[in-house]
Structure 1
């Protein structure tokens, strides 16, 4: 990391391909990262839709190293580093800082429920203190529908006050626009990212930083264009189109649907694999989703067919 400005724009929680032995298929991952970057979409690897919590610490370190070795710019990466175990979070965070990643996306400790703000504060503070690097840019990951643990506004304010610069922003995946709006209003100029593109336009109109969204994995070109042109006369039309695509894919379980969509447009059925406990869509459903997307005129421009 450098002392560059905090990250902004559109990032994808990059889906993770697996081989027949359920090991990470890094070559497929590299190809997909390059496609995303070709459309100016950043890489929030190891997010929820990356099956990030199905990957070990060692795997994550190895994947980042191999992406960088392949020429992927670490400044465009915001790896997920929040784990249940404090030493794991610290180790990952340190490594991502040392490798020059543009930021890290940090879940609160999420196994124990009903946590106090004080407990969550201490966890985040320990990660920052033990990472011990002024280059750290941490983005909090607020996703209470899944983690059932989150960041209150008062807690966010305390972290920003005590760790100005290091706590650079938040991804709000609460699914509640009123919560995102409250963050934008209480912390003007801070890095608030929408948790999906359906509220990207509203987020930008209220001073937000962009969005980090699952469907960027397949619809990055349109979502990035919405971000770029949010002040244009056709912004509402762009937003409606992005929202419609999100809802079309979201009729199915999201992670399997994203992988099925990539499999369809790359003609590569190996993309449909998931690590247990997640389960892939059946063959008929994969075909149905692909047909629905094509009938709607959807495409993934520039996506490479299987090698």
Structure 2
């Protein structure tokens, strides 16, 4: 079973709104408590109990809207092949409580004067909504491009009220013209995107052609390629006093847990960021779907559920 990272909270569901296959849940603290603050791009780890899914699950959902609000909001797309977590959350009602961890952030919106383009596909609007709220609050030049299936697009009314003509909707067969939108962007524009893999892959390619800074959050992991270092390698765990061998057929996460070192983890496919581990020494074969090229080049952190060594030995802060 996956393991939460950091403190756990038990907020209560105070409202729910269904929009097609998406349900928006508003969460409030229990009496006498206060929810932790968060920054745009942050997500919650939501525990799906063993009573709903054998063994239980932990799934990540981005926080919506205004970080200064006293409540949290998340949106959940019902997915038939999700393992059962989304179906259980669609059955949650007002007055129910959830067990959550976080907030955590691997998709943080960076402050600055540069203009911003926000791209969202489907339920990918959730982190983008918070970023666009921050851009509006600081007077930054921005536009929001939101594509999805008619009747299944959450938050449209909220977005219209806040962003007006800066919001561009694509539905009912109207396609988001990524080459046109990104090709016309001013030099220095930053692009933040979230949504289906096809949208993100095309957006990243067009942003690269236009020389634009690109940031994305992926819900589906990029396909794993062959390891850079195909042989076994050693990992030294600085704080645990262990040196372990990782064979080609096992992940670092699997090996350290077999030796009693407990690491928070959730997705096991390099998308959620829960198992992020600082690296003290060694070259990393990054295989996650989270870090930017600049972050990878620093060689100071890795996601041990999928990433491996690109050398005979790594030293980890575990």
TM-score (norm 1): 0.30
Structure with more of its chain in strand, by fraction: 2
Scaled by the length of structure 2, what TM-score is found?
0.29
Q: More helix per residue: 1 or 2?
A: 1
